[in-house]
Structure 1
Amino acid sequence: MDVDATPDNRPERPEDAHAFFGQPKGLLTLSGLEVWERFSFLGMQAILVLYFADTVAHGGLGMSAGSAASVSAAYGTLVYLVSVAGGWLADRILGSYRAVLWGGVLIACGHYSMAVPTATMTWTGLGLISAGTGLLKPNVATMVGKLYRTDDDRRDAGFALYYMAINIGAFAGPLITGWLGDHRGWHWGFSAAAIGMTLGLIQYVAGRRHLAGRGRAAEFTLAPDSPTLECSPTLGFARAGGTPTAEGPPPRRAIRLIVAGIAATALIATGLAAADRLTMDRFVDVLTLVSVIAPVVYFAVMFASPRVSAEERGRLRPYVVLFLASTVFNFILFQAYSTMMLLAASNAETTILGFDFPAGWYASALGAFEVGLAPVVAALWVRMGRGQPHASNKIAIGVVLGGLSFLLMPLPTSGHDGDTYLMSVWWIVGSYLLLGLGDILLETSGMSATTKLAPAAFAGQTMSLWFLSLALANGIQAQTVKLYDDVSQPAYFGVNGAIAVAAGLAVMAAAPWLRRTMHPVH
């Protein structure tokens, strides 16, 4: 039987087929959820570092700029590390629908917690948001894929609409939270993020009848006669040679172990914090260490696995290069919400054509550029056809553009000797334009290459590997941004930008080898 024809994984009924730009109705439900999830996540992210760095008297936490950026980056590291576990929980225990639902509930609870003006509730909220995003983010895209049969020619267009929804939320979130944070207080901005996530959950539940797999628990279980067990990089075990079977109820033992592990970790962390052994700096350092170890272990397991053929190992080698390229680019990209926000708040104009706006609104420029440029880039690739650049070159160009976005900054920040100054709004807008274009080139090509280059035995875990490049980027950033207070702005942005440009050029130089070894990626 065609797996896509099963009752829980079928396309929309014919009468529903043209409900949303010719797409299944379920796409509207999932895209709407992503609009509100990105609204809340990036809306909060746009003001988070500003809240950390603001004075206690003004409602902030009074951190130095470097510490504020470091803690913000550590939060991002935690989100993407938890995303790996979130994919595993959906596959083995919860199922995608429940994983996304409970993830959204945790996110909303986290934002409501942050709306309470105390430091304790801030840290509680960030923990809840990290756990919830880790459950929701890797599984929404999986649910989008389940709306279509594998041979449905609407699939690519559907994902394009879904990607646009992500960036609509990324554009709108900072506009609302930035204004509220600037005019009413930071916790009002966090409240707006909470309301946004609540609206996303309401429409997600209301539209659940259009979603595949909503009646299931785990997506699959493995046949009990599978011969061997092999450690999986997604923190579980997979049977070599196992075959999908009808799923049963979630394994109670697994649930008990997970709950016990979470509780034990929380108790240990609380005890260490009470004894002054777990400081914020140490916690950040631990997350960075984990972000480095996790992808090393992931690749080591895949290269050593007897289930990976020699041909597949050959394709993994170029993927290591692409993984590192993604790490370098996202190291720059994520600073759009940390060091660039700090620069915008302290040394950039917040007036355009006579209109005053909060510094947090700069973050909306990134989403706006991606919404506007994505269809232009897609149309360009269609027009070029087989003459378009190879995927590795698209990724390399994306990394170079990311580096150039930082190399712009030494020009307006040089020659001020620490005095207060205000650069033109167009410098940061121009930087975000380069960054947005680079993101479109790298993310679309990188995710596509991930699914094609991963070994068949690890096909279901490919997005976990991609998320680890984002976790690693944030982990490295959490250490690097500590220098923001200690070096000049031209030196900080110039050196980081130059490293990214050099990395992109190195990938371009390796293009002949990458083209030979990345088959079937074009």
Structure 2
Amino acid sequence: MNKSSSHPAALPFLFLSEMWERFGFYLILGIFQLYLTDTAKGGWGMDRATAADIFGTFIAFVYLTPFLGGLIADRKLGYSKSIIIGGILMGIGYIGLSVHNLTVFYLSLGLICVGNGFFKPNISTLLGNVYNDDKYRSRKDTGYNIFYMGINIGAFICNFFAAFLRNTVGWGAAFIAAGVGMFLGVLIFVIGMKHYRHADVRKPVQEGDMPLSRIFSVVFLPAIVVGLGAWFIPGNIFGSDSTDAFIFACIPILFFFVSLLVKADAKDRKPIAALLSIFAVSIVFWAVFKQNGTALTTWAQYYTDREIPAAIEAPAQKLYLVETVTNKPDSVTAYDSEFRVIRDAAGKPVKVWDKVPYFKNVAPEKMPEEGKSISLFNTELFQSINPFFVITLTPLIVWFFGMLRKRKREPSTPSKIAWGLLVSAASTLLMVGAVYACSNGAIKASPWWLIGCYGVITVGELFLSPMGLSLVSKLSPARLTSLMMGGWFLATSIGNKLSGILATLWDTYDNKANYYLVNCLLLGGAAAVIFLMLKWLNGIFREYVK
């Protein structure tokens, strides 16, 4: 470690590794729904509800597998090996998505899910471990904030690569770029090994810990059996086979975490109870936040004015960050007033003579003359707004909390999470305003509404997400740190699946303001719950975190 620095020398290597992992992952998320619903340029031509269900299931399993990856790292592989294995699997999976074959597509998603399970919880745990030195311990929250800012650089730049590559080459090139980014992340991690090898220490199994073989037999085997059973039962309980399978498969895993609490000794019971409470409340945040790849992408694609100002049209065109649409009768996929794809009896998209869907709700004064073209920002570029705000706002938030720390008024980590939920609830009200400003989609909304929504929810995210990682690192019993990190990602997983379920309901709301009000009530309710628990949580935090 660099003794002259206020942060460990491991920090830049870890966040650069995670930055390139996020580059690949968020590149995929930015174009995922667009690729699944595309009918003109080699996509899968799915309807939006099906695409949202697949999206929700994918990101749910992406964040479910860290439970397994954290457990194997804790007990068998260690953190570094797990991170390298996970990165390689994800890189192969990203590149596999470039093959336009449905079997290869689902196998590639499976590789990404498994790879993320090995990578994600263990790099976060390793970061926490390098801050366990007395010199750095007090800066752990700040370290996670810096880590979070660094990795979001990858999430910010990836959408520009995606837009350029799919405009100039095609969807496959964008997926290959995601894989190359992942392999770069693995390479950087290997180069920096000397700075965190000392922190890669497996925790000894203590008396009373469930053996790994038993965990597989009483947790994962039942999860697989129950999940498959729910998939194949006639009809749907929660809306789709994939949703039924996921929810039922989670039940044995949830029981396992409850059993950790029940069987814990007096010393460990309080911190485990506090963490499980935080996990439960955070589910709601992820259920709303992860709609950036579904409902908010739909809003950007069809309800937002994406026309490029004349002053920057030329450079944007040169960078191939735009798509051109022409106002003339053309053979395109027909959309009804809610932009749902029209299909024939066989389920294939119907081709009719109609105007380009983008022009369905353009204000009359902005409609180009027939035969004229306009240039639009690619939809996925709006996905870079959130990471842009993470990068720009993180230094301000770090400074703000540092200033409060000097005055001995810094909120506790649980308090930061509570305020994060409340701020996130406020972001949904901006989208309610956007709905009314554009007369419920009768005309295009200004992009500033969406930008504002992302800005506000990013503040909530910075109060909640890195603080959640920090809290797990601080409160977890030493031998269970990576496993509890997997629990944090399990909560994220369940929230992600709920985000997909919520997004499938988009077309059922005639007034889109009501859709966002439901999200507001969910976040507001979660904030109220954690504020009610705050005295109890802060008591445990003061007792166990020195």
**Interval containing the TM-score (normalised by the shorter chain):** 0.7 to 0.9
Q: Where does residue 66 of structure 1 map in the other structure?
A: 49
Pair 1:149–1:318, CA change in 2 (3 A): closer
Structure-to-structure mapping, 1:104-143, within 5 angstroms? 104-143=87-126
Correspondence for 2:248 among 265, 289, 292 = 289
Q: Which moved more, 1:29-38 or 1:346-355?
A: 346-355
Alpha-carbon deviation of 1:474?
1.4
User: Per the alignment, in what secondary structure is the counterpart of residue 387 of structure 1?
Assistant: coil
1:388 aligns with 2:388: no
1:439 aligns with 2:461: yes
The separation in 2 between residues aligned to 1:52 and 1:289, in whole angstroms, is 26
Contact 1:69/1:482, CA 8 A, preserved across alignment: yes
The separation in 1 between residues aligned to 2:290 and 2:441, in whole angstroms, is 27
The separation in 2 between residues aligned to 1:72 and 1:446, in whole angstroms, is 24
* Structure 2 length-normalised TM: 0.76
Q: Where does residue 308 of structure 1 map in the other structure?
A: 265
Q: Could you list the per-position Cα deviations for residues 346-403 of structure 1 after superposition, in whole angstroms to 9, with x for gaps in the alignment?
A: 1112245444421111111111111111121121112123223343332222112222
1:192 aligns with 2:212: no
Q: Where does residue 162 of structure 1 map in the other structure?
A: 147
Contact 1:80/1:471, CA 8 A, preserved across alignment: yes
Q: Where does residue 505 of structure 1 map in the other structure?
A: 528
User: Per the alignment, in what secondary structure is the counterpart of residue 115 of structure 1?
Assistant: coil
Correspondence for 1:476 among 488, 498, 506 = 498
Pair 1:219–1:513, CA change in 2 (3 A): closer
The separation in 1 between residues aligned to 2:175 and 2:479, in whole angstroms, is 42
User: Per the alignment, in what secondary structure is the counterpart of residue 296 of structure 2?
Assistant: helix
1:404 aligns with 2:426: yes
Contact 1:325/1:395, CA 8 A, preserved across alignment: no
Correspondence for 1:333 among 264, 289, 294 = 289
User: Per the alignment, in what secondary structure is the counterpart of residue 210 of structure 2?
Assistant: strand
- The one-letter amino acid paired with 1:178 is A
The separation in 1 between residues aligned to 2:410 and 2:432, in whole angstroms, is 33
The separation in 2 between residues aligned to 1:188 and 1:510, in whole angstroms, is 48
Pair 1:350–1:182, CA change in 2 (3 A): farther
Alpha-carbon deviation of 1:102?
1.2
Contact 1:179/1:357, CA 8 A, preserved across alignment: no
**How many residues end up aligned between the 2 structures?**
471
The separation in 1 between residues aligned to 2:428 and 2:145, in whole angstroms, is 28
Pair 1:312–1:342, CA change in 2 (3 A): same
- The one-letter amino acid paired with 1:500 is L
- The one-letter amino acid paired with 1:446 is G
Pair 1:37–1:343, CA change in 2 (3 A): same
The separation in 2 between residues aligned to 1:142 and 1:337, in whole angstroms, is 27
Pair 1:103–1:213, CA change in 2 (3 A): farther
- The one-letter amino acid paired with 2:294 is S
- The one-letter amino acid paired with 1:391 is T
Q: Where does residue 7 of structure 1 map in the other structure?
A: none
The separation in 2 between residues aligned to 1:110 and 1:318, in whole angstroms, is 36
User: Per the alignment, in what secondary structure is the counterpart of residue 136 of structure 2?
Assistant: coil
Q: Which moved more, 1:468-477 or 1:502-511?
A: 502-511
Correspondence for 1:346 among 302, 321, 335 = 302
Structure-to-structure mapping, 1:46-65, within 5 angstroms? 46-55=30-39, 57-65=40-48
Correspondence for 1:171 among 148, 153, 156 = 156
Pair 1:487–1:44, CA change in 2 (3 A): same
Contact 1:71/1:284, CA 8 A, preserved across alignment: no
Alpha-carbon deviation of 1:46?
0.9
Q: Where does residue 371 of structure 2 map in the other structure?
A: none
Contact 1:52/1:68, CA 8 A, preserved across alignment: yes
The separation in 1 between residues aligned to 2:539 and 2:126, in whole angstroms, is 33
Q: Where does residue 248 of structure 1 map in the other structure?
A: none
Q: Where does residue 429 of structure 1 map in the other structure?
A: 451
The separation in 2 between residues aligned to 1:477 and 1:103, in whole angstroms, is 25
Structure 2 runs not aligned, ≥5 long: 313-375
1:487 aligns with 2:527: no
Contact 1:332/1:403, CA 8 A, preserved across alignment: no
User: Per the alignment, in what secondary structure is the counterpart of residue 231 of structure 1?
Assistant: coil
Pair 1:518–1:482, CA change in 2 (3 A): same
Pair 1:319–1:88, CA change in 2 (3 A): closer
Q: Could you list the per-position Cα deviations for residues 51-91 of structure 1 after superposition, in whole angstroms to 9, with x for gaps in the alignment?
A: 12222x43222222222122111111101111111111222
User: Per the alignment, in what secondary structure is the counterpart of residue 45 of structure 2?
Assistant: coil
Contact 1:291/1:471, CA 8 A, preserved across alignment: no
Structure 1 runs not aligned, ≥5 long: 1-11, 239-253
Pair 1:445–1:198, CA change in 2 (3 A): closer
* Structure 1 length-normalised TM: 0.79
Structure-to-structure mapping, 1:203-352, within 5 angstroms? 203-212=188-197, 219=202, 222=205, 228-231=207-210, 281-291=240-250, 294-295=253-254, 297-305=255-263, 307-309=264-266, 312-351=268-307
- The one-letter amino acid paired with 2:23 is F
Alpha-carbon deviation of 1:471?
1.3
- The one-letter amino acid paired with 2:297 is M
Pair 1:70–1:98, CA change in 2 (3 A): same
Alpha-carbon deviation of 1:318?
4.5
The separation in 1 between residues aligned to 2:518 and 2:123, in whole angstroms, is 37
Contact 2:144/2:469, CA 8 A, preserved across alignment: no
The separation in 1 between residues aligned to 2:527 and 2:436, in whole angstroms, is 25
- The one-letter amino acid paired with 1:118 is N
Q: Could you list the per-position Cα deviations for residues 150-202 of structure 1 after superposition, in whole angstroms to 9, with x for gaps in the alignment?
A: 21338636544422221111111122113433554322221221121122223
Contact 1:316/1:454, CA 8 A, preserved across alignment: yes
The separation in 1 between residues aligned to 2:203 and 2:419, in whole angstroms, is 39
Q: Where does residue 394 of structure 2 map in the other structure?
A: 374
Pair 1:469–1:508, CA change in 2 (3 A): same
Correspondence for 2:83 among 100, 122, 140 = 100
Q: Where does residue 5 of structure 1 map in the other structure?
A: none
Q: Where does residue 3 of structure 1 map in the other structure?
A: none
CA RMSD, Structure 1 to Structure 2 (Å): 3.6
Pair 1:521–1:359, CA change in 2 (3 A): farther
Pair 1:326–1:148, CA change in 2 (3 A): closer
Alpha-carbon deviation of 1:337?
1.9
Pair 1:401–1:22, CA change in 2 (3 A): closer
- The one-letter amino acid paired with 1:412 is A
User: Per the alignment, in what secondary structure is the counterpart of residue 240 of structure 2?
Assistant: helix
Q: Which moved more, 1:428-437 or 1:137-146?
A: 137-146
Pair 1:313–1:128, CA change in 2 (3 A): same
Alpha-carbon deviation of 1:301?
0.8
Correspondence for 1:202 among 171, 179, 187 = 187
Q: Which moved more, 1:117-126 or 1:35-44?
A: 117-126
